[in-house]
Amino acid sequence: MPIYEYVAFAAGGVTSKGIVDADSERDARQKLRKKELLVTKLTETRGGKRRKKGSGNQPGLFVRILEARAAAQGPSTRETELVLGMTRQLATLLGSGIPLTESLSALVDQAEHKRMETMLRQIRESIQQGTSMADALAQHPGWFTEMYINMVSAGQAAGNLDIVLSRLADYMQAQRAMRRKIVGALTYPAMMIVIGMIVVTILMAKVVPEITAMLIEQGKALPPATRVLISVSNVVQNWWWAIIGGFGLISFAVERTYRTSDAGQLWIDRSLLRVPVLGELLRKAAVGRFTRTLSTLLQSGVPVIQSLGITEKVVGNRVISDATATISQRVVEGADISGPLKQSGAFPSVVGYMVAVGEQSGDLEQMLDRIAVAYDEEIDVVTERLTALLEPIMIVLLAGVVGYIVYAIVQPILEIGQI
């Protein structure tokens, strides 16, 4: 069995050296990873053959097609998670004084995802050929956002790339936490709606027709509630395909309008912000993204106009996005940020006043960060309110529908029994 000498970082950034027995280089790295060691150098000392590098590492046509599609759509959730871990590790390696190319080599050797390993290797090779880190990242838009690339560029120019990467990792982690809060708040009501629709559909398509058929055979006049129930049941039985198709068509039309029409996107986002509680949650989430993104970019040395331009694209709501574009234009004309921010009407007034204080004290970046943290806490409160509000509403609606069905069936049965 081959023996490998290694140099790695242990917990706390302490350098660790030693040897490990393994069947292959990858097996050696996996063994060291289980010991919570971050390998920076691995050399085979006895037996085995080194892995050859060459055309075998080039991605095939299918992989290149997937990468082209990913580049058009931006990073997926899975890729964002991988980039978050990579960013945190790279910041640790650079902060420990390891050169960039060697740090990337360590990440390449430890990559468990094949596409990510290929991407990291290509970035390392580009840097070795003289390309800047930011330009190398820009060649992989399916993995890295414009914000990520611009922050890396600013970090390289300022000579504090490790700090910028650590800040980026914190930002991505905070965004992930916010996204999970919002998804978690909406998951339960969505499940209740789906379960309710399934229950009602089964009742209307299977149970109601059998019972109403027996009632009709009695030849008695049925109550209005029962006649309405029979009509609805017939529609569900005979036109279920049209109902499903209608829902699908409406969903497609709304999504299509949102993606292709500026006016439609603005109308939908503005309407969502007006929904009680849900609109409050969406606004706080968008404002939180605005303040955290702008703070992170400014702290990393990205110019204010460029920072506003990037922030405009990531806030996630067209109303806030358009307001950010207006703020950017006013700043180009010589205004500060707080003035047009207050005038936009898209942001809570307290945000405008806090930004103004930050500008006056020369501590805008920290003030924006404080606002983001405060809104994270407010999102927790609104999420609890939304869940507490929607749960009884869903239960009452479902109980009302099922109760009506039971009433419409039981009423004629009781009348027949009295006769």
Tell me the CATH number for domain 170-419.
Answer: 1.20.81.30
Share of the chain above pLDDT 90, in %: 3
Helix or strand run (H / E) with residue 40: strand 38-46
Report the range of poorest mean pLDDT among 29-43, 81-95, 176-190, 377-391. Answer: 29-43
Total residues belonging to the chain: 419
Instruction: Give the model's confidence band at 63: pLDDT under 50 very low, under 70 low, under 90 confident, else very high.
Output: very low
Q: Give the separation between CA 95 and CA 358, rounded to whole angstroms.
A: 30
Q: Give the separation between CA 320 and CA 344, rounded to whole angstroms.
A: 9
pLDDT of 304 strictly over 50: yes
Of residues 64 and 401, more confidence is placed in: 401
Q: Give the separation between CA 126 and CA 136, rounded to whole angstroms.
A: 6
Instruction: Give the model's confidence band at 71: pLDDT under 50 very low, under 70 low, under 90 confident, else very high.
Output: very low
Of residues 375 and 390, more confidence is placed in: 375
Mean pLDDT taken over the chain = 80
Predicted local confidence at residue 138, as pLDDT: 86
Tell me the CATH number for domain 56-144.
Answer: 1.20.81.30
pLDDT of 297 strictly over 80: yes
pLDDT of 67 strictly over 60: no
Instruction: Give the model's confidence band at 11: pLDDT under 50 very low, under 70 low, under 90 confident, else very high.
Output: low
pLDDT of 66 strictly over 50: no
pLDDT of 75 strictly over 60: no
Q: Give the separation between CA 138 and CA 128, rounded to whole angstroms.
A: 16
Q: Give the separation between CA 262 and CA 419, rounded to whole angstroms.
A: 64
Neighbours of 2 (CB within 10 A): 17
Instruction: Give the model's confidence band at 387: pLDDT under 50 very low, under 70 low, under 90 confident, else very high.
Output: confident
What b-and-e string marks burial along 144-181, b requiring 16 or more CB atoms within 10 Å of the CB? bbebbbbbbbbbbeeebbbbbbbbbbbbbebbeebeeb
Report the range of poorest mean pLDDT among 6-10, 53-57, 201-205, 264-268. Answer: 53-57
Do 197 and 296 form a contact (C-beta atoms < 8 A)? no
Report the range of poorest mean pLDDT among 69-78, 283-292, 386-395. Answer: 69-78
Instruction: Give the model's confidence band at 50: pLDDT under 50 very low, under 70 low, under 90 confident, else very high.
Output: very low
Torsion of CA 280, 285, 290, 292, to 10 degrees: 130
For the stretch 326-372, pLDDT in tens is: 998 888 888 888 889 988 888 988 898 899 999 888 888 889 989 98
pLDDT of 412 strictly over 60: yes
Predicted local confidence at residue 13, as pLDDT: 60
Whether the predicted model's global pTM rises above the 0.85 cut = no
Do 161 and 155 form a contact (C-beta atoms < 8 A)? yes
HSE of 99, CA atoms in CB hemisphere, 13 A: 7
pLDDT of 29 strictly over 60: yes
Instruction: Give the model's confidence band at 76: pLDDT under 50 very low, under 70 low, under 90 confident, else very high.
Output: low
Q: Give the separation between CA 372 and CA 347, rounded to whole angstroms.
A: 13
